[in-house]
Amino acid sequence: MSDTTHDGAVALSTPPSADDGLSAAEMATKYGLTVSGARPGLFEYVRQLWGRRHFIMAFSRAKLTAQYSQAKLGQLWQVATPLLNALVYYLIFGLILGTRKGMTQEVFIPFLVTGVFVFTFTQSSVMAGVRAISGNLGLVRALHFPRASLPISFSLQQLQQLLFSMIVLAVVAVAFGSYPGPSWLLIIPALVMQFLFNTGLAMIMARLGSKTPDLAQLMPFVMRTWMYASGVMFSIPVMLKDKPDWIANVLQYNPAAIYMDLIRFALIDGYGSENLPSHVWAVALAWAVLVGVLGFVYFWKAEERYGRG
């Protein structure tokens, strides 16, 4: 539209806009605009994760392959590393300190190797979770995807590594007189529950580590303390029989000890149910569901803040 001034000149005027007086938030709502990287609803987030399942699997396999790509023995180190750890622990704790009290040699060696392999699964998942966001900022900032894909893929990577190790563990068990039987099938639900627990814990650590990168320097000390308190190298009831009962109960019901003992019970013929705490399967399931669900929700709550700042 135009108006004519008193001297004959033409002045252009802008017609009133329907957006006049609207705030930025109101205009965004009017035109269907959303915040870039905004956190979706919980169920929508789960749906997005399911849609990225192929990426999660491929990413975990790629990380597993690249982990030992510079070593001459390659992926043999996936098995050799925990075996060497088990050998060191056997020399120090089994022979020198005599922590195999109450167990024969045929039980103690599979007991020890199982403990090292199973605890390493949790330890590696936690350590990878701490760096899941802070160690992949380039990927987080460049692409839009559910950030939970990263800690889940790292936990899946550690599960695949454990499955390689389980082959060696089975050989060790057979070599010391524990042969395959129906009880070996119990390893499957025990590992599924441990994987859910590890993934939830990795998500908690991923959120904490995204804001506090120095947490990666502290966690090795925390994990080492947890390992010594979980009966990796000794039987908790036997070693603490002269201590107050509550101490042994606290240590036995901690999740790392629970999952180790379940797999020991399934795998080793001489490791009977008398070595397990009461209601052990219910406790294992409770730990898996509690930490898995809480870890997922805790991570999801900060979805839109990852990679910023």
pLDDT for 262 equals 96
Cite the DSSP H helix spans in the chain. 24-30, 42-51, 53-67, 77-89, 105-130, 137-142, 149-175, 187-211, 215-228, 236-239, 245-252, 255-267, 280-301
pLDDT for 190 equals 96
Amino acid identity for residue 93 in this structure: F
Per the structure, the count of domains in the chain is: 1
Do the domain assignments include residue 46? no
Over its length of 309 residues, how does the chain's per-residue pLDDT go in tens digits?
A: 545 555 555 555 555 566 666 666 566 565 555 555 577 889 999 999 999 999 999 988 888 777 766 666 666 777 777 778 778 878 887 777 777 777 888 888 899 889 989 999 999 999 999 999 988 888 888 888 899 999 999 999 999 888 888 888 898 899 888 999 999 999 999 999 999 999 999 999 999 999 888 898 999 999 999 998 998 888 888 888 888 888 888 999 999 999 999 999 999 998 888 889 899 999 999 999 999 999 999 999 998 888 775
pLDDT for 25 equals 59
Do the domain assignments include residue 292? yes
Do the domain assignments include residue 138? yes
Specify whether the CB–CB gap between 42 and 297 falls below 8 A. Answer: yes
pLDDT for 200 equals 97
pLDDT for 62 equals 86
Domain that holds residue 267: 53-305
With vertex at residue 185, the alpha carbon angle to CA 183 and CA 188, rounded to the nearest 5 degrees, is 130
Do the domain assignments include residue 35? no
- Kindly write down the DSSP assignment for every residue of 89-141, as one continuous string: HIIIIIIIS-TTTT--HHHHHHHHHHHHHHHHHHHHHHHHHHTTTGGGHHHHH
Question: What CA–CA distance (Å, rounded) separates 273 from 252?
Answer: 13
Do the domain assignments include residue 31? no
Do the domain assignments include residue 148? yes
Phi, psi (degrees; rounded to nearest 5) at 256: -60, -45
pLDDT for 85 equals 77
Do the domain assignments include residue 11? no
Do the domain assignments include residue 29? no
Alpha-carbon distances, residue 241 vs 235, 245, 275 (angstroms): 10, 8, 12
